Amino acid sequence: MQVQVFANDGTVTLVHPDSQDPSLTRDSGNVFRVRWAEGRYPAGRNCTVSPIDGAPTGCTTFDNGVSCVCNVAIDTLAVYNDVADLPPTSLLERTLTIGAPAPEAFGQGAYVRCMSAACTAAVSSSASSAGSSGSSGSSADARLVAVYTHASSAGALDQRSIFAILRNGTRLTYLANKVSTVRVGRPMNAETGAGGGYSFRNPPKFHSFLRPSIRDAAYETEALLEHLFYHKNVAPFMARRLIQRMVMASDGLGWPRMASDGLGWPLMASDGLGWPRMASDGLGWPRMASDGLGLSLIANGL
C-alpha cells in the first residue's frame, strides 16, 4: 500500500499500485487530512531525502513537487503495558484515541475485569481525583471505572485491553489500549533511529471506497454528530448564548460554569474569558422554561 501526499497541506489519498480501480489510484480525489507527527510530512526536497539523516526516503515526487508517493507500513501497539504506571484519567483519555465495544459484546468469558491490587488502586485514585476536583465546582472530570483484560492475556495489559471511563459523571465510554501508526517512506532503523521519520496516526474510516453504502454513511454521520455534541466547547457556548438572551449576568457569578455542569457536558476552562455584562437588562429576570435543560435558574431578584 502507498499514500499520495500533497505538498500544499499534507492531505493524503490511498494508492494501491496493482489496482485498476479509479478510487485507489494516484489523483483519485479521495483526499483526507491526517495528524502528522510533529507536523512534518514529505514535500518538496523532503519528499525524496530525509530531513533527519539526509538519506533517501524511498518516496517519489510527481507533478514537479505537487505531490509525493510513498510506501507505508502500519504499526499497532499497546499504549500502556503496566497498570501500576497508568497516568491520570485526563491523560488516559488523550492518549487512548480508539474506541472499543463493551467487553460483554465479545461473548461470555472473552474479557475479565482486572481486580488486582494495581487495578483497584488505579480506579480508587481516579475516583478520589474526580471527587476532589468536582468539589471545586466542576463535574466535568472523567473517572476510570474499570480495566478489562483479554482472557488469554493472563491479567496483563496488551493492545486487546479495554478501559471503561465515565465522562462527566454520565457517559460510560470504552477505549482500546492501542495506538495505530502509519509509517511513511523508508522504515526507521530500530537500533539507530535513522529513517524517513514520517508518520501519522491511523485515522478511523467507516466507508469502503470500493463498496460505499447508506449504512456506512449513517455510521459516519452519527459518529461525527456525537463527537460534536460531546465536544468540550459545546456547554460553555450554549450556556453563554442562553444567558445572553434570557437573563442578566455579571462578571464573577460563574453562570457559564454552573450552566455547563447542569447540562451534563464536558466543560472547557471558561474562567478568565471575561464573560462580559450581557446586554439583556430589559428582560426582567423571567423564569424561563429551561428547567428541563438542567440550568438551575437563580431565584428572581438576585
What is the SS3 string spanning 20-70?
CCHHHCCCCCCCECCCEHHHCCCCHHHHCECCCCCCECCCEEEHHHCEEEE
Domain extent, residue 29, equals 2-77+179-210
Q: How much is the pLDDT for 130? A: 58
Q: How much is the pLDDT for 282? A: 36
Residue 71 and residue 158 share a domain: no
Q: How far apart, in Å, are the Cα atoms of 193 and each of 29, 53, 197?
A: 34, 10, 9
Residue 283 and residue 152 share a domain: no
Residue 64 and residue 195 share a domain: yes
**Distance from the Cα of residue 272 to its chain's centroid:** 25
Q: Which residues of the chain have pLDDT under 70?
A: 130-141, 169, 187-196, 248-302
Q: How far apart, in Å, are the Cα atoms of 140 and each of 101, 132, 158, 171, 269?
A: 23, 12, 29, 11, 10
What stretches of 96-140 show up as alpha helix (H) in DSSP?
Answer: 117-134
Residue 188 and residue 167 share a domain: no
Q: How much is the pLDDT for 278? A: 34
In a domain? residue 145: yes
Q: How much is the pLDDT for 45? A: 76
In a domain? residue 285: yes
Number of domains in the chain: 3
236 — alpha (psi -120 to 50), left (phi > 0) or beta? alpha
Residue 105 and residue 17 share a domain: no
Q: How much is the pLDDT for 250? A: 53
Q: How much is the pLDDT for 271? A: 37
Residue 169 and residue 43 share a domain: no
Residue 168 and residue 97 share a domain: yes
Q: How much is the pLDDT for 246? A: 79
Residue 98 CB contacts under 8 Å (≥ 6 apart), including other chains? 175, 176, 178, 179, 180, 204
* Residue 186 burial class via C-beta count within 10 angstroms: exposed 0-12, middle 13-18, buried 19 and up: buried
